[in-house]
Amino acid sequence: MTGLPSELQTLASNFAQRRSEAFQKLRPICVELSNLTLSASPIQNHKELVLVLSNLLQTLQSIDKSVFDQKLGDYVFFPFSNLLRQRNDLGDRELELLLRCLDYLIGSAWSRGTPEELYRQLFLLVTFILGGSPGKNNSVLKSEDSKLAVVKCLQTLFRAVKASSIHQNTRNLFVEDIKIWPALGHCVVSLLDLLVQESFPVLKQEICHTISFLYIETISDGDILAAFLPGTVSAICKVLQAENFTRHSDLICAAIRLLYKTTAVCLSDKHYADIKNGQSPVVNSPDTVGIVNRTEQWFEASKGQIKIALGTIYTLRSHIHSAVRLAYFEMSRTLLEDCHQTLKHCSDMFLQTIMQYTLDPDVNLQKESKKFLSSLHVESGFGALVKSSVQQSCYNWVMSMPRILSGQDENSKQSVLTNVITAVDFLGNSASMNLISVELLAQNLRSSLKFDKIRSIQTSNQLIITDGNEKVDLSYQRFELEYINDKDTLNILGQLISQLGASSIGLGLSRIYLSDIGHESQQSVSSLWLLIHLLEGGLKADPSDPEFRLLILDLYNQSSIFLSENSSPDNSELTICLHLQSISLASKLLGSDFETELVQVLYLVTQYLPNSVIRSFSHTTLHHLSVNLGYPSIQSLLIKNADYLVNAVSLRLNCFDITPNVPMVFLGVIRIAGPAIIPYLEDVVDSIFGVLDGYHGYFKLVESFFVVLEGIVNEVAKNVDAPRIETRESLLHDGVCKEIRAFARLLERMRNEQHVDPESLSNDMEAIEETEVESMDISTPPCTLHSTSIDIVRKIVDKSQYFLTHQSSTLRYRLLHLISSALPLLTTAEKQLLPLINAIWPPVVSRLKDDESHVVVEALLTLGKLCLVSKDFMSVRFEESAWPVIKNYLKELRGNVVRDKSNPYARQSRLLFAIFETLEMALKNIRVLDKLFDEILDAVCQFGEITLVNQVQQKLDRLIEALRIINADAVWLEKSIRSRSICATPCKDICDNIIFA
């Protein structure tokens, strides 16, 4: 070592030192083991032997493998020799420890540069430990741990043989040494038997890895592996068919990789082509025992058996674990590339698997599948053969679609749809795609679809109002198919139709389906659904294609005709919904040029808003129209084109084209557009009352039109703040306080000044008068409501009074509620309000004597609203016309209310509540004379002795408080008389603030 550089000398010295330390650790253990093995009966010392072997294994694992060389390995192996001779007498635990130590020695001391003879002896030794003597099946291994140890030892040995042959550039022991082939066959058979018989997944997985390394890395000779191919395929099929192991993804992956790698070597297209061309030599030497001559006949016989085997294991290609699906992809890709000719009968299965994975949830697998298919886009050679196979497979899949899609297996449905999608994508616009029968494809697609009736979406009567900045879901409600209910399957089906529309046969399919939609049938519905999705796919792929544009416009014309002739849905909901989608598609195509079509289309779309089934489609179509035409929202669309809608509705009303659908359509439009559309409805309101005059005997029709009028009033009242209405109490209280304060200031000034200037006094008196005028001015602030909208509301109230005598109690109730809702909006103009109130007063007050209690209740509440908005204008009318009727009701209820005190919805409770509410509004807003006050006080206080329903009692308390504000002394006296006790200091809270001179 003196001639070496200093660094190498240091490394050599360190290596020698570490080797010496390793030897010192191993020496006492090896000596103890030798003493045990050389004793008279070493097998009897099981416990000591296990302890020594365990100690040896731990020591070996603690030493760096790099310090081991062949000599150190031989030293450690020496004590093993006696134990290995007596292996049949060793316990399972001792044998396991012995194999694990041997595994370590092979992987370290004998990993390279080892004589071939030692490898041969070790292989024979481990093989006989694994399988016993050939044909006797007398293996000494009992536990799964010992079997796992021998399999790992074999794998390490195979790796060492491979590394040694490469390192020394020598022959491959298992390929070129014919004498070892029998033992090799015995080893493989033993491993395959162990693979089938054992149930421990880790052991089975390790066996697959060991055999795979032996076949592919160590032997890699097709003629030798061909002898093992039948047994290997049979064993793997048994493993994969066992139900207990389907959940062990690592084992499945290892078995699949072993199978396809072995098959690819044995059935390679290259060797098969050489045989057919007479270039591959046939070995007939007597020394070639164990080698299979892969002749053309052998290939023909083998590929049939392989096809059967692959058909059984490919059922797991949709395994839940992505690793298993990746292994199937690798097998399909490898066998397609290497065995396309020899396994051409399996090509469809390989292609189908890869195509299925192009839509796999695993992104990496999806990417790899698409990448492989894109690499096959060539017109000659392998790519051309694959393309022909894809075309044939696509034909078979299309033929099987009606049968599979009508079944119950969702996985099969998704698989066939995915395969067709991938085939269409693969073939693209090539000539191969055009060879597929368009008529056959159209017929099978149509036959595969059968639609159920659309379910009604539960939506509120008030449709959703959105502004231009809010995101809106523009997707239509999903159609329900009779045999396809799974969401993923429906998505894949939609993707298939869209992709077909973008392909070269999309136009042909569209023309076929367009010719089917002229008549009403299940076939027509399926054709229309398919046509819309095909056109959407074609429009997305090439918006400028003139053929597709003509087809879309042709469909739009047919849809417009159909919708105009089918205003009442009846049994055509499915077809109507699809025609609404076609209108949306046409607006998307034309964009702003579609504006001229709104004259006809807008009413056709909105006429289905009242229908609970079609409403969502109509609403979504309006969203599409607003987006495609550049409107910020549906409201903008309807308001900007309100004249079209108004004209359409007016035309039908004026022509007496009266159906219950017309008012409901208009109500839906009003609710969507909001108050901005109200000013355009003056002529429509006139037309509505014209219809009502002619058709007042049709109860349902009349009620539906008044629902529209009520909707107009509600839209005006809902979106604009109504004017603030001051009560008489607040007005009088504020006015009196201002006058008293001004007069008090004047008296104080006169008291403090001896001489008062007459001119100054005059100015102060004028100020007091101005205060009085200001306090008595009860006009409301200027209103921001649109004057036209107010005029329309006033007209509705004015003309509605004539229907308060209608035979329908429901209509009478609605009209009173309508008047009550509209009155606060009309307070902006007192000059027009008071004449209107004077006109509607007689029919309203007459409803106090209505036969229906709910009408009487609403009439009472309307009466309260009249008092609120008209103030003292109602004083005489209330006292002369309303109060006598109310007083009679109070007398009647005085004796009956006790019986229903527990029911707040009883007739008596509802009437009392409405009466108390009306009286409270009257006392607070109109001038009440003393006589009327006394009568109200006497009638009301009678109910103070009765236990009322909670809500009614609260309303009674508020009414008494209103009476107390007008005349607290009278209220106190009346209550005291009824309770038979006179308080000594009445009205203390009022007298406290009065200063007597």
pTM of structure = 0.66
Instruction: Please give the structure tokens belonging to residue 436.
Output: 């597929």
Reduce the secondary structure of 851-895 to three states and give it as a string. Answer: CCHHHHHHHHHHHHHHHHHHHHHHHHHHHHHHHHHHHHHHHHHHH
Instruction: Please give the structure tokens belonging to residue 686.
Output: 């006139």
Tens digits of residue pLDDT in 607-632: 888 888 888 899 999 999 999 999 99
Q: 354, exposed or middle or buried, with CB in 10 Å at 0-12, 13-18, 19+? A: buried
- What's the pLDDT at 741? 61
Q: Which of 850, 865, 918 is nearest to 887 (CA)?
A: 918
Tens digits of residue pLDDT in 355-402: 889 888 899 999 999 888 888 765 455 667 777 778 888 888 888 888
Every domain of the chain and the residues it spans: 14-109, 118-201, 376-615, 728-776, 859-991
Tens digits of residue pLDDT in 407-434: 888 888 888 888 888 888 777 655 555 5
Residues 935/940/944/946 CA torsion (nearest 10 deg): 120
Cα(813)–Cα(575) distance, integer angstroms = 39
Q: Which of 918, 907, 798 is nearest to 855 (CA)?
A: 907
- What's the pLDDT at 930? 87
Which of 384-388, 676-680, 848-852 is the least confident region? 384-388
Tens digits of residue pLDDT in 264-289: 999 998 888 888 877 655 554 444 55
Tens digits of residue pLDDT in 734-762: 444 555 666 566 566 666 655 555 555 45
- Counting DSSP H helices and E strands in the chain, the numbers are 46, 0
Q: Which of 567, 580, 478, 562 is nearest to 520 (CA)?
A: 562
For residue 43, name the pLDDT band (cuts at 50, 70, 90). Answer: low
- What's the pLDDT at 734? 46
176 residue type, one letter:
E
Which of 19-33, 464-478, 725-739, 905-919 is the least confident region? 725-739
Tell me: pLDDT of 532 over 80. yes
User: Residue 680 to residues 641, 646, 769, 791, 832: CA-CA distances in angstroms?
Assistant: 10, 7, 46, 12, 21
Share of the chain above pLDDT 70, in %: 80
Tens digits of residue pLDDT in 928-938: 888 889 888 88
Integer Rg of the chain from CA: 49
Reduce the secondary structure of 387-416 to three states and give it as a string. Answer: HHHHHHHHHHHHHHHHHHHCCCCHHHHHHH
| Contact yes or no for 212/257 (Cβ under 8 A) | yes
Cα(814)–Cα(882) distance, integer angstroms = 21
Cα(948)–Cα(946) distance, integer angstroms = 6
DSSP helix/strand/coil, 80 = helix
For residue 345, name the pLDDT band (cuts at 50, 70, 90). Answer: confident
Q: Which residues contact 422 (CB under 8 A, 6 or more apart)?
A: 354, 355, 356, 358, 359, 373
For residue 651, name the pLDDT band (cuts at 50, 70, 90). Answer: confident
403 residue type, one letter:
R
- What's the pLDDT at 700? 80
Tens digits of residue pLDDT in 972-995: 888 888 776 444 444 445 445 545
For residue 210, name the pLDDT band (cuts at 50, 70, 90). Answer: very high
